[in-house]
Structure 1
C-alpha cells in the first residue's frame, strides 16, 4: 500500500526534472524560448508603433523645422502619391522601436540569462538597467544633433541654386541617425556582457582602446558634421568614457573570476 504513493511521488518528481542531467535546455526548448521572447518583443514594438503613429505628425513637423534652416524656403517634397503615408509609417515604426526598447531589451536579456549562473544573472540584470537608459539617451542625442547637421549642410549650397529635398531621403537619414547613435551608446554594455559569458576578456578590450577611440571619433565626425568640432567631441567623449568604463568593469570581473579560480585550486590542492 505504501509503495504506490511513493512511486507516484517519484514519477511526478521525474516529470518535473529537466531531461538533461545538468539542467540544460535542448535545442527545441531553446527555439521555443526564442519564439516566445520574439513574440513578446514583437507585440511591444507593435504597440509602440501605434503610439508612434499618434505622434508622427509632431515628429515630422520638428524635422521640417530643422530642414527649413538649410536654405530660405526649403521644404520637404513628395515624389510619389503614397510617399506621405509610407513616411508616416516609418516614423511610427522607429518611434515605436525607441518607446518599446525597455521591453525588447528585456526579452533579449531574459533569453540570455538562463545560460548564466546566479552571480552572472545579477550582472546581466544590472546591464539591462544600464542599456535601456543609454539607448534612450543615445536616441535623444541623435535627434538633437540633426538640426545642427541640417544647418551645416545647407551652407554648401551655391548662390543662385534651389534646394529640393526628397522627404523620403531626409526622413530615412534622420531615423537611421537616431537608431545608430542609440545603438552606439549601448555598445559598451554588450562588451561587458561578452566578458561575463567568457567570450571577450578584459585585456582584449584594453588592448583595443586605440582602435576604439579612432572608430568612435570617426563615427562622431560622421554623425555630427557641425560648424565647429565642439559637437563632435560632445558626442565622442561620452562614448569613449563608456568604452573605458566597460573595460574597467570587465577588468574587475576578470580579477574576481581569477581570485575565485585560485581559491578553488587551493582548496583542491589542500584536500
Structure 2
C-alpha cells in the first residue's frame, strides 16, 4: 500500500514515464473535445443570432434596413444587396461551420487551461511567469484586432458595392461572406500579435531592443502598407485606425525590449539564478606537460610480509 501511494505521488519537477504522459494527454484532449462539443450545441441554438451579429452591420452599411432574419421573412423587400445561399446542403453545412467555430471560441478557456496544465509541470518558475504574461497579453491584443476588423468590414462593404452596375441585383453568398468576415478577423487579430512576437523573441535572446529601435522606419512603412491593403477604403480614417494602434504597439514592444536588455545585463553581472544551469566551458586547456606519478608497485614478498588484521588478501577463505 505504501509503495502504491508513493507511485501515485507526482514528481515536483513534473517528471513521469512516457505512458503516463500519453495517458494525461489523452485525458486533456477528451476534456477539451467535450467542452467544444458543448459549446457547439449551445452555439447551434443561437445560430441565427450569431449570423445577424456579423451580417447586420454590413447590411446597414449598404443601405438595407432589414436584418438577416427579416430578409428571409420578407424576400420582396427593397434592398441594394441580397444575401443568398446556394445548394441544398448549404444551409446545413453553414450552420455546422458557424456552430463549430463559435463552439471553439466558447470553449477556449477550457482547452487553453488543459493545454497549460499539460505543459506547466515541465516549466521553471520564470518560464511559467513569462508564459502566463504572454497569454494574458495575447488574448486582449487578438480581441482588439478582431474588433477593428469588425468595425472596418461595413465600410469596406459599402465601398466594394459602389463598383456594382447600376440597376443590377447584387447577391452576396452567405458562406463566402462569412468566410471573408472570419478571414478578416483572423488577419487583424494576428497582426496585433506582432509586437508580442517581437517581445517573445527578445526575451528568448534572439532579438535585441536596439535592433528593434533601428527598424522603426521600415516597420512603420510596412505597417502602413499592410493597413492600406487590408482596408480597401477611400477614406484614410479606417487605414489610420488600423495602422496607428499597430505602430503604437510596436514602439511599446521596443521599450519593453530595451528594458529587458538592461535587466538581462544587470542579471548577468549579478550571477545566475538558483534554477538556471551555467554554460559548460568545453575549451581544452594545456596542463603544462606535468608528469603523472604512479604509485610504486609492491613486490609479492613485501605484500606477503605486510601485517593485516586477520587473513591476508590472498587468502580465499
- State the TM bucket, normalised to the shorter chain: 0.7 to 0.9
Instruction: Give me the whole-angstrom Cα distance separating, in 1, the residues matched to 2:202 and 2:121.
Output: 17
Q: 1:45 aligns with which of 36, 40, 62?
A: 36
Q: Write out per-residue CA displacement over residues 19-64 of structure 1, whole angstroms, 9 at most, x where no aligned residue.
A: xxx9767877766665555544444433333333233202322444
Q: 2:96 aligns with which of 77, 83, 89?
A: 89
Q: Is the 8 A contact 1:131 1:186 kept in 2?
A: yes
Equivalenced residues, count: 256
Q: Is the 8 A contact 1:102 1:132 kept in 2?
A: no
Q: 1:155 aligns with which of 162, 175, 179?
A: 162
Give, in angstroms, the shift of residue 145 of structure 1: 2.0
Query: Structure 2 vs 1, CA of residues 64 and 48 (structure 1 numbering), >3 Å: closer, same or farther?
Result: same
Instruction: Give me the whole-angstrom Cα distance separating, in 2, the residues matched to 1:28 and 1:205.
Output: 44
Q: Secondary structure at the match of 1:164?
A: strand
Q: 1:255 aligns with which of 243, 262, 269?
A: 262
Instruction: Give me the whole-angstrom Cα distance separating, in 1, the residues matched to 2:201 and 2:108.
Output: 20
Question: Which position in structure 1 is the counterpart of 2:311?
Answer: none
Question: Which position in structure 2 is the counterpart of 1:60?
Answer: 51
Q: What do you get for the CA RMSD once the two structures are aligned?
A: 3.5
Q: Is the 8 A contact 1:41 1:107 kept in 2?
A: yes
Q: Write out per-residue CA displacement over residues 48-94 of structure 1, whole angstroms, 9 at most, x where no aligned residue.
A: 33333233202322444314644743111111011112222222233
Instruction: Give me the whole-angstrom Cα distance separating, in 2, the residues matched to 1:31 and 1:210.
Output: 48
Query: Structure 2 vs 1, CA of residues 64 and 263 (structure 1 numbering), >3 Å: closer, same or farther?
Result: closer
Q: Secondary structure at the match of 1:120?
A: helix
Unaligned runs of 5+ in 2: 64-78, 273-277, 279-317
Question: Which position in structure 1 is the counterpart of 2:199?
Answer: 192
1:121-132 to structure 2, matched below 5 A, reads 121-132=128-139
Query: Structure 2 vs 1, CA of residues 92 and 15 (structure 1 numbering), >3 Å: closer, same or farther?
Result: closer
Unaligned runs of 5+ in 1: 1-7
Instruction: Give me the whole-angstrom Cα distance separating, in 1, the residues matched to 2:222 and 2:210.
Output: 19
Larger Rg computed on CA atoms: 2
Q: 1:222 aligns with which of 229, 233, 245?
A: 229
Give, in angstroms, the shift of residue 217 of structure 1: 2.5
Instruction: Give me the whole-angstrom Cα distance separating, in 2, the residues matched to 1:89 and 1:145.
Output: 26
Q: Secondary structure at the match of 1:235?
A: helix
Q: Is the 8 A contact 1:68 1:75 kept in 2?
A: no
TM-score norm. by structure 2 comes to 0.66
Q: Secondary structure at the match of 1:75?
A: strand
Question: Which position in structure 2 is the counterpart of 1:245?
Answer: 252
Determine which structure has the larger helix proportion and give its number.
Answer: 1
Give, in angstroms, the shift of residue 104 of structure 1: 4.0
TM-score norm. by structure 1 comes to 0.75
Instruction: Give me the whole-angstrom Cα distance separating, in 1, the residues matched to 2:93 and 2:117.
Output: 33
Q: Is the 8 A contact 2:82 2:171 kept in 1?
A: yes
Q: Write out per-residue CA displacement over residues 175-224 of structure 1, whole angstroms, 9 at most, x where no aligned residue.
A: 22122222322343343334334444434544444444344323322332
Q: Secondary structure at the match of 2:164?
A: coil
Q: Secondary structure at the match of 1:161?
A: coil
